[in-house]
């Protein structure tokens, strides 16, 4: 759907579920991470961009202190009083939306006298594909309540609110990259985020100007950040930092890796090596974009995927096949994107090659006996906003 179509669907569904028209509609995009995986919670660097897939929230103030939230993807309505919001009172999909409201109160929003709110959610950001459907929902709810309740919170604070909601209300130990991308993104640009200082720099990508396209290959292998491998990788990074005597792996440079190999067990060292080299690759991609243009970044995307596959071990056979096929079919560069263990890969391609590369990937998946992937173009787009 286009964003206007999503907005219409959200308004119509709001009327059916909650009665009457919403006060307003707010949207937030999903995101693709061009490079910089698992570096965010290590206080490192990431370089995502917002995409032209969105979550739209229709909202209206109530006369009491209840929050009622519904979704086009779920039956029923979740309901809770603002005063009862707490991480242990929330579960399921609604924890993302309701967690944002709780977190806003924790991070500077005065909720003591605000009225309740009805919310309805519609989205075309694929679930479980590594395109951050969760941050899209958090971003849309955050900008909606900030405006409806006149909280006066800036975008960086709203990103912190989304992260707190996901960490505490949902229980997923993610960093702040996704929320920053969906709240700070701009058209045909990426957001270079320093996850230690939270300083964000908008960097032109020039994909449109150069006739390039970003192909997303959704493997349809679903992942869940609140369990398993993601938490294990984060724990490995924390062990590595302790073993090296630093507060976070941000303080470890490529030159330190020889010493790290001597001090750490083999698995922990490989986890550390991915983070350290990935930080360096993020900065190298930004430099390459500025100095040589987007066609120069292909080798860095390839190195990033190899590092995630071999050192961080978060790829799966479907992702590896998507990446290798895309490159063999003529992509400038390709890598998995997102937290791993499924989800999506991206390929930077000449726009004229988009269809042929997509066909090659579908053929390769069929030959391997894998579930048919979903392939589609995304455009680097504007961040969360009032529709």
C-alpha span between 112 and 63 (Å, rounded): 14
Q: Does 230 show up as a binding residue in the annotation?
A: yes
Q: Does 37 show up as a binding residue in the annotation?
A: yes
C-alpha span between 85 and 99 (Å, rounded): 8
| Spatial CB neighbours of 115, under 8 Å, sequence gap ≥ 6 | 61, 62, 63, 64, 65
Q: Does 71 show up as a binding residue in the annotation?
A: yes
- 3-state DSSP assignment of residue 49: strand
The question of whether 178 is a catalytic residue gets the answer yes
Q: Choosing from 118, 124, 146, 178, which is the catalytic residue?
A: 178
User: β-pairing, 344-350 with 333-337?
Assistant: antiparallel
- 3-state DSSP assignment of residue 344: strand
Judge contact between 284 and 192, C-beta under 8 A: no
The alpha carbon of residue 80 and the mean position of all alpha carbons in its chain are separated, in whole angstroms, by 27
Q: Does 28 show up as a binding residue in the annotation?
A: no
The alpha carbon of residue 101 and the mean position of all alpha carbons in its chain are separated, in whole angstroms, by 20
Judge contact between 165 and 226, C-beta under 8 A: no
Judge contact between 302 and 335, C-beta under 8 A: yes
Judge contact between 33 and 47, C-beta under 8 A: yes
C-alpha span between 279 and 255 (Å, rounded): 13
Judge contact between 254 and 277, C-beta under 8 A: yes
What is the helix (H) or strand (E) element at residue 214, kind and residue range?
A: strand 212-218
C-alpha span between 371 and 373 (Å, rounded): 6
Query: Across the strands, what pairs with 56?
Result: 27, 122
| Spatial CB neighbours of 86, under 8 Å, sequence gap ≥ 6 | 102
Q: Does 128 show up as a binding residue in the annotation?
A: yes
Q: Does 134 show up as a binding residue in the annotation?
A: yes
C-alpha span between 128 and 280 (Å, rounded): 28
Q: Does 131 show up as a binding residue in the annotation?
A: yes
Q: Is 218 left (phi over 0), alpha (psi -120 to 50) or beta?
A: beta
Q: Does 166 show up as a binding residue in the annotation?
A: yes
Judge contact between 362 and 336, C-beta under 8 A: no
Q: Does 105 show up as a binding residue in the annotation?
A: no
Q: Which residues are annotated as a binding site for ATP?
A: 71, 128-134
Q: Which residues are annotated as a binding site for Mg(2+)?
A: 134, 166
Please give the positions annotated as active site: 178
Q: Which residues are annotated as a binding site for substrate?
A: 37-40, 230
Q: Which residues are annotated as a binding site?
A: 37-40, 71, 128-134, 166, 230
């Amino acid at each position: 759907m286009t964003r206007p179509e999503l907005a219409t669907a959200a308004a119509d569904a709001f009327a059916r579920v909650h009665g009457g028209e919403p006060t307003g509609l707010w949207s937030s995009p999903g995101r693709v991470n061009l490079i910089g995986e698992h570096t965010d919670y290590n206080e490192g660097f990431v370089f995502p961009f917002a995409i032209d897939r969105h979550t739209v929230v229709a909202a209206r103030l109530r006369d009491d202190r209840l929050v009622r939230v519904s979704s086009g993807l779920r039956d029923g309505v979740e309901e809770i009083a603002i005063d009862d919001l707490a991480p242990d009172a929330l579960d399921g999909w609604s924890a993302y939306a309701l967690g944002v409201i709780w977190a806003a109160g924790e991070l500077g929003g005065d909720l003591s006298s605000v009225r309740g709110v009805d919310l309805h959610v519609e989205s075309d950001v694929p679930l479980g594909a590594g395109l951050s459907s969760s941050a899209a929902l958090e971003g849309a709810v955050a900008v909606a309540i900030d405006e409806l309740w006149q909280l006066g919170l800036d975008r960086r604070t709203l990103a912190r609110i989304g992260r707190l909601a996901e960490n505490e209300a949902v229980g997923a130990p993610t960093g702040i990259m996704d929320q920053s991308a969906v709240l700070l993104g701009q058209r045909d640009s990426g957001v270079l985020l320093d996850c230690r200082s939270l300083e964000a720099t908008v960097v032109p990508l020039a994909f449109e100007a150069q006739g390039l396209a970003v192909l997303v290959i959704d493997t349809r292998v679903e992942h869940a950040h609140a369990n398993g491998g993601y938490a294990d990788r984060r724990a490995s990074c924390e062990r590595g930092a302790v073993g090296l005597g630093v507060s976070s792996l941000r303080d470890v440079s490529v030159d330190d890796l020889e010493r790290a190999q001597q001090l750490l067990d083999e698995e922990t060292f490989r986890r550390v090596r991915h983070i350290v080299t990935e930080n360096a690759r993020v900065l190298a991609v930004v430099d390459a974009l500025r100095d040589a243009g987007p066609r120069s970044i292909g080798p860095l995307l390839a190195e990033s995927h190899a590092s995630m596959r071999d050192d961080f071990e978060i790829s799966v056979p479907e992702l590896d096949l998507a990446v290798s096929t895309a490159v063999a079919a003529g992509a400038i560069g390709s890598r998995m994107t997102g937290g791993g263990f499924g989800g999506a890969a991206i390929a930077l391609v000449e726009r004229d090659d988009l269809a042929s590369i997509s066909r090659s990937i579908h053929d390769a998946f069929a030959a391997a006996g894998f579930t048919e992937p979903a392939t589609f173009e995304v455009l680097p787009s504007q961040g969360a906003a009032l529709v």
